[in-house]
Structure 1
Amino acid sequence: MKALDQKLTHHFSGKIVRKDLTKLVKGNAIVPTYVLEYLLGQYCATDDEDTITNGVQTVRDIIARHFVHRDEAQYIKSQIRERGSHRIIDKVSVHLNDKRDVYEAQFINLGLSRVPIGDELIRQHKKLLSSGVWCIVTMAYIAATDEPNATPWVIESLKPIQIANADLEGYKEARAAFTKDEWVDVLMQSVGLNPDEFSFRSKLIQLARLIPFAENNYNLVELGPKGTGKSHIYSEMSPHGILISGGEVSKAKLFVNNSSGDIGLVGYWDVVTYDEFAGRDKRTDKGLVDILKNYMANKSFSRGTDVYGAAASMVFVGNTDHSVPYMLKHSDLFEALPRDYYDPAFLDRMHAYLPGWEVNKLRNEMFTADYGFNVDYLAEVLKELRREDFTHTYKPYFDLSNSITTRDKDGISKTFSGLMKVIYPNGQCTEAEAQELMEFAIECRKRVKEQLVKLDETFETVDFSYQVRSTGLVITVDTLETLPQTTPPATAMPQEASPDDKPLTDVSERNNHSLKTSHLPGQFVIRDNQSGVSFDSLFGEYLRGATEIILCDPFIRHPHQFRNLLEFIRTVTQTKEADGEITFYLVTNNTPDYVEESRKSLLELADSLVPLGIDFKFEFNATLHDRSISLNNGWKIILGRGLDIYQKTSGRYDIAEFVPEKRLCRACEISYLQINKV
């Protein structure tokens, strides 16, 4: 066990499971993750390998004997008949037969319908009256009598697969034992992902998908490429959410059936997710869109003469048809939606728009084999957190701009509240930690508003800024996709700042100023997941005229770090005079495991540079920590992360392997200092 898993085991014993076990037991069973982890939590919630091995086999046996595959339904029915009774795992839905005044159950995989079920079970588990709940059921068979409409099938016992309650206070107390980064990694592992493969911003995007489970009446849209797991959390990770096809829903199914008076999905589920929501030509019901608009704005809906209230969050996920730059130039980020939903009034109800295009397609190494919460346990905790309100938690730290509308503020505060519940359920965070969530929440709402301004001229541009109370600093938040695709700072050599120049303290102000007046020393801030960044654009002009370069970077040992070094040297060769010569010093650090191989590689690199007029030298310095580029032309560049500014690409056939501007970046800062020439 790694340290984080040990810590998790100590504080949440009995509530965690090793995430690779789910794949081991699932086989070809089409069953949600929370069902499997419910069983694994009963038999494998330990770090003892022998117990885990036996537990996995037990769960496999349970799935093999009791899970109902549709193609084996007749065999299972036969087993029930021969044995008299048999326990099964199936999805069960119930409706009221008003002609007989009895509730009747339907078993989705077993293929049975009109099986009587007791009123008491319905009172205990009302969700059975919706589109179906996974249950462990003991079914009995009694030979049919001469009574009309009699059935031989009898439900002896039924238990929905979900934890009845969760100790929220204990959960909050245990959270205090973890740092922010540790807790975020625990949550990432809990949803089955390897946190080492994600930047902090990418983790936030993944965890934002949990907000609808923790926040009442939260409206979220996420559009992006295929294969990024947009719908996975909503179908697999909680018994309190339901995933429906956007083309199959109706007013009666979602809200109220006027004929029977039955309440629809929003009355029974915490989260209703429209899957495959995009598609310009998809057939839709304009009347449904109108009811949705009212519900998403007012938390209520009317059918007939009655008005109903509900707390279900609405999530809309779908695929985009074009690249983000194409959409920003030729249309907007909502262009893929069905025509009836391509309605400014409807879209304005969205509290947040997650940038699905920033999420990489899921690869094997992106899944975790470490420990995380049983997803049914986490689902119950998030359900309990729906009762709490964190929407005002930011107010001691920040003031939102007065130009931000009430609806915009609602979106920002609800996203902030949801992230607080997910990451800081005890309500304890620092100003800096709250600021990370605030900027993300503002960006998610700003992405909605910017598109509405393009769609409808009646929407006005809003100043999405906030003021930090402790410092008075006003910060404007930008959506990442609208930042320039070619990175400053240099189109000409920077000059000394004039006395009238004011200090640039705002991140977006510094970057925008760098674009307009790139002749000044200053700082450039690279954000998590930002693209369009290359060493040519970052350093090219500053290298001109330098005949001596000292690169201090303690981490040049792994293949991707050597690639970064080679790409930086490529930039050097492109900026040097063809007949000039340069001395290049690399000062780095290393470990015994890598030092000899690194030395061999660097010597090979030095030989290859001789014909180019570059005298390459290197040394290993065990105390090196700072990262910088020192040039004898009067400049020193401070590197927040060294040359290691890029996230991992998808693989060797990813175009980003060869085009740096297509890579996603890690958050860092680069400072350009003017010094005396050597």
Structure 2
Amino acid sequence: MELQQKVMNAFVGKVVRKDLAFLVKGGLPVPTYVLEYLLGQYCASDDEEVVNEGLEKVKQVIKNNYVHRAEAESVKGIIRENGKHRIIDKVTVVLNEKNDEYNATFANLGLSGVPIGTEYVRKNPKLLSGNGVWCIVTIGYIPGEDVKVRWEIQKLKPIQISNIDLDEYIEQRKNFTTEEWLDFMMHTVGLNPEHMNRREKLITLARLLPHVENNFNFMELGPKGTGKSHVFQELSPYGVLVSGGDVTSARLFVKMSGNKEILGLVGYWDVVAWDEFEQQKGRSVDAVLIDTMQNYLANKSFNRGRATHEASASMVFVGNTKHTVPYMLKNSHLFESIPTSFIKGAFLDRIHLYNPGWEIKMLKKDSFSKGYGLITDYIAAVLHAMRNDDRTSILKEYAKFDGTLSERDHLAIRKTFSGMMKLLYPDGKMTDEEAYELIDFAAECRKRVKDQLYVIDETFKAEPAVFKYINLKTGVEIKVDTLERISNAHLFTTNISENPEEGELNDGDTQAMNQGMPQADNDDGKRPRIPILQEKNLSFRMGQTGVNYKKLFATYLAEAKEITVEDPYIRAPWQIKNFMEFVTMLIETRPVDDLKLHLFTNEEEEKIPDLIDKLDDIKDDLAGYGIEFDYKLRDFHDRCIKTDTGWTITLGRGLDIFEKYSPYSIEALRQDKRKCKEFMVTYMKTKNV
């Protein structure tokens, strides 16, 4: 069954086509969850006619009830003439101590000091947070003389689902494979999973961790336009997005009003996200705010006024990077763009997860979902309900981390694992492989923080943490490193990868043995070092860069007079291009006169004539370089490269190791700039050759 049909069947009345909100929204400054609340009432169907009718109804509701600031006076006139009118507006409530009553302010309508019933405030305390709550409100008008306040709130309903059946949500997980569920989550946050690899999906999913984990400290820095702040601004009525430059200690934690302490944002919201968390000229950060923040991030509490307060709000910091990752790794550190006042070990050590925003592609028109996902208000309520489901202890069933890790390291990894498990496996059912995928991701995201702390604060070098663990299911020791360090190992004087079998290509792997070819003079006058070829296994991470055919194969093929490539998938245009890049690598790294090159591949029967024509063209072309090329078509699965010198290079994915890239990009010309798929390479030598 197609994923979209599964979604419709499993969550009847709780899904919406994700592109509809964009069709309705236009230029309105209305959060997506407000629009999807309405779309869920009128457009929860796969019947195009029903959807179109529902869209018209939603447009009418927006037209008739949403208050545009420019039309506020007209709306007031409608209320007066009709006696009452239903509106959609953001409402903020304050306590009027003088009159001993609560007063509401309407952001777009421009009304303030409107009395609101205590029962509304008790049911919806976020109205008091100072940031406002979107509501559907019926406002009445009181005519006559000697009326103190002419406006009255007759009915108020916050735009959010009042209750959900969490057990029903968890039960539906069994109807989806992990890949389907992950794609479903991507549709739910409004993105098209077809344009993302699995790692990019996990990074995107990690943005939901602050919503599903209490007191989760999250940071994501990356280029502009990658959707970093989207889920914090549009997804949930339980979260609030504030401008990083406008945050004060009073607004965030506690404001003193006379002898009264008024709780700040952390007391009302599940998530407080700082947007544009980056250095800005002319703006300084209050030292009290930083100290209070550090205490809160570490202890879930803060001291302001006369009391100590506790809160469960997760803290999120999102901002733009100013330089590329290679530049930052070589010249500064990955935190360089955040406000200088926060670039200190005591603060950064409290960050549980540093999400690599630079790995997410810039969002374009086709990046957004046109499929069905959960209504954002529904998924927000689900995540809110799951916050108190602590699964951190489950990690100890799978892994035992090295004792050099600090307690903060352990806590960060456990909380990330717990949150990712709730997001991907809410029913708790996952394979060992799936569990270790989450463990590796959690450890990597914490290691990203720790690696930068060594650069920023020398004191952390005194007790370095080794990010490795014992796989308790197999007893094997696993070492963890960040993808950017593996991909940019050439920037460092020593190889910084802690795992020599994880995509690490050293000098012996990358230097071709160009016997018989002209050699460039070395500056030091020394002869080029001839590498010693060894049997080994290499594994490469999804999204890893810095890999090319020369580094993988050149040294092992340098002396061969006969090379056989066995790959059943040299047929599609990009696969044939891969093969030609392989041949080009041979021509550039070694003598090819009289080289015999054999290809074994396969194709669907009806397409064989077309493939033969292409391979014959290649044969004619290579003859001009002295390469004797031939090919055979047969049905097989294993992929490898064999040489007459006795080497067999087993390829998990054959030559098709790169992810899709634009033909109009640097990646099209430079393999080492492309992102890799996850793959393995094994080098084996036949003893009798």
* TM-score, structure 2 normalization: 0.90
Partner of 2:485: 482
SS of the residue 2:254 aligns to: coil
Partner of 2:547: 533
Q: 1:583 to 1:472 in 2, by over 3 A?
A: closer
- Partners of 1:295 and 1:327 lie apart in 2 by 29
Partner of 2:49: 50
Tell me if structure 1 keeps the 8 A contact 2:503–2:538: no
- Partners of 1:5 and 1:316 lie apart in 2 by 33
Partner of 1:162: 160
Q: 1:111 to 1:599 in 2, by over 3 A?
A: farther
Partner of 1:612: 625
Deviates more, 1:61-70 or 1:424-433: 61-70
Partner of 1:627: 639
CA drift of 1:397 comes to 1.5
Partner of 1:497: none
Partner of 1:500: none
Deviates more, 1:236-245 or 1:52-61: 52-61
CA drift of 1:95 comes to 1.0
Partner of 1:232: 230
Q: 1:532 to 1:486 in 2, by over 3 A?
A: farther
Query: Is 1:554 aligned with 2:592?
Result: no
The 5 Å alignment of 1:4-153 reads 4-130=3-129, 131-143=131-143, 145-147=145-147, 150-153=148-151
Partner of 1:495: none
Q: 1:122 to 1:20 in 2, by over 3 A?
A: same
SS of the residue 2:156 aligns to: strand
Partner of 1:674: 685
Q: 1:328 to 1:407 in 2, by over 3 A?
A: same
- Partners of 2:687 and 2:602 lie apart in 1 by 25
Q: Deviations over 1:121-142 (max 9, x none)?
A: 1011111111111111122233
Q: 1:561 to 1:24 in 2, by over 3 A?
A: farther
SS of the residue 1:426 aligns to: coil
Tell me if structure 2 keeps the 8 A contact 1:582–1:613: no
Tell me if structure 1 keeps the 8 A contact 2:505–2:551: no
SS of the residue 1:92 aligns to: strand
Q: 1:220 to 1:486 in 2, by over 3 A?
A: closer
Partner of 1:564: 578
Runs of 5+ unmatched residues, structure 2: 491-496, 510-532
SS of the residue 2:583 aligns to: helix
Q: 1:195 to 1:554 in 2, by over 3 A?
A: farther
SS of the residue 1:112 aligns to: coil
Tell me if structure 1 keeps the 8 A contact 2:238–2:380: yes
Q: Deviations over 1:30-86 (max 9, x none)?
A: 211111111111112222222222212222222222222223323333333333322
- Partners of 2:91 and 2:410 lie apart in 1 by 41
Tell me if structure 2 keeps the 8 A contact 1:609–1:616: yes
Tell me if structure 2 keeps the 8 A contact 1:280–1:336: no
CA drift of 1:221 comes to 0.7
Query: Is 1:520 aligned with 2:534?
Result: yes
Tell me if structure 2 keeps the 8 A contact 1:514–1:520: no
AA in 2 matched with 1:350? I
AA in 2 matched with 1:153? W
- Partners of 1:632 and 1:486 lie apart in 2 by 33
Q: 1:468 to 1:367 in 2, by over 3 A?
A: same
SS of the residue 1:538 aligns to: helix
Deviates more, 1:49-58 or 1:316-325: 49-58
AA in 2 matched with 1:160? P
Q: 1:572 to 1:103 in 2, by over 3 A?
A: same
Tell me which of 160, 172, 175 is aligned to 2:173: 175
CA drift of 1:402 comes to 1.4
SS of the residue 2:427 aligns to: coil
The 5 Å alignment of 1:494-513 reads 508-511=499-502
- Partners of 2:396 and 2:96 lie apart in 1 by 52
Partner of 2:398: 397
AA in 1 matched with 2:672? E
AA in 1 matched with 2:418? S
Runs of 5+ unmatched residues, structure 1: 488-505
Q: 1:451 to 1:486 in 2, by over 3 A?
A: closer
AA in 2 matched with 1:612? Y
CA drift of 1:228 comes to 0.9
Tell me if structure 2 keeps the 8 A contact 1:556–1:590: no
Partner of 2:443: 442
Q: Deviations over 1:1-29 (max 9, x none)?
A: x7111122222211112222222222222
Partner of 1:197: 195
The 5 Å alignment of 1:443-462 reads 443-459=444-460, 460-462=463-465
SS of the residue 2:269 aligns to: coil
SS of the residue 1:451 aligns to: helix
Q: 1:513 to 1:242 in 2, by over 3 A?
A: closer
CA drift of 1:219 comes to 0.3
- Partners of 1:516 and 1:462 lie apart in 2 by 27
CA drift of 1:591 comes to 7.2
Tell me if structure 2 keeps the 8 A contact 1:589–1:624: no
Partner of 2:522: none
Query: Is 1:262 aligned with 2:262?
Result: yes
Q: Deviations over 1:594-638 (max 9, x none)?
A: 6565454444433333322234444544x3322222233322221
- Partners of 1:113 and 1:596 lie apart in 2 by 77
- Partners of 1:195 and 1:29 lie apart in 2 by 26
- Partners of 1:551 and 1:235 lie apart in 2 by 51
- Partners of 2:600 and 2:63 lie apart in 1 by 60
AA in 2 matched with 1:675? T
Partner of 1:468: 471
SS of the residue 1:182 aligns to: helix
Partner of 1:302: 303
Q: 1:536 to 1:306 in 2, by over 3 A?
A: same
Q: CA RMSD in A?
A: 2.2
SS of the residue 2:112 aligns to: strand
Tell me if structure 1 keeps the 8 A contact 2:221–2:321: yes
Q: 1:435 to 1:144 in 2, by over 3 A?
A: farther
Tell me if structure 2 keeps the 8 A contact 1:590–1:620: no
Tell me if structure 2 keeps the 8 A contact 1:144–1:151: no
Q: 1:134 to 1:579 in 2, by over 3 A?
A: same
SS of the residue 1:393 aligns to: helix
SS of the residue 1:176 aligns to: helix
Partner of 1:639: 651
Tell me if structure 2 keeps the 8 A contact 1:267–1:310: yes
CA drift of 1:529 comes to 1.2
* TM-score, structure 1 normalization: 0.92
Tell me if structure 2 keeps the 8 A contact 1:557–1:590: no
Tell me which of 667, 676, 686 is aligned to 1:665: 676
- Partners of 1:396 and 1:197 lie apart in 2 by 34
CA drift of 1:280 comes to 6.0
CA drift of 1:313 comes to 0.1
Query: Is 1:287 aligned with 2:288?
Result: yes
- Partners of 1:462 and 1:162 lie apart in 2 by 44
Deviates more, 1:85-94 or 1:221-230: 85-94
- Give identity over the alignment, percent: 48
Partner of 1:498: none
- Partners of 2:38 and 2:608 lie apart in 1 by 47
- Partners of 1:236 and 1:597 lie apart in 2 by 50
CA drift of 1:569 comes to 2.1
AA in 1 matched with 2:132? G
Q: 1:635 to 1:288 in 2, by over 3 A?
A: same
Tell me if structure 2 keeps the 8 A contact 1:257–1:264: yes
AA in 2 matched with 1:123? R
Q: 1:317 to 1:604 in 2, by over 3 A?
A: same
Partner of 1:379: 380
Q: 1:556 to 1:62 in 2, by over 3 A?
A: farther
SS of the residue 1:554 aligns to: coil
Partner of 1:349: 350
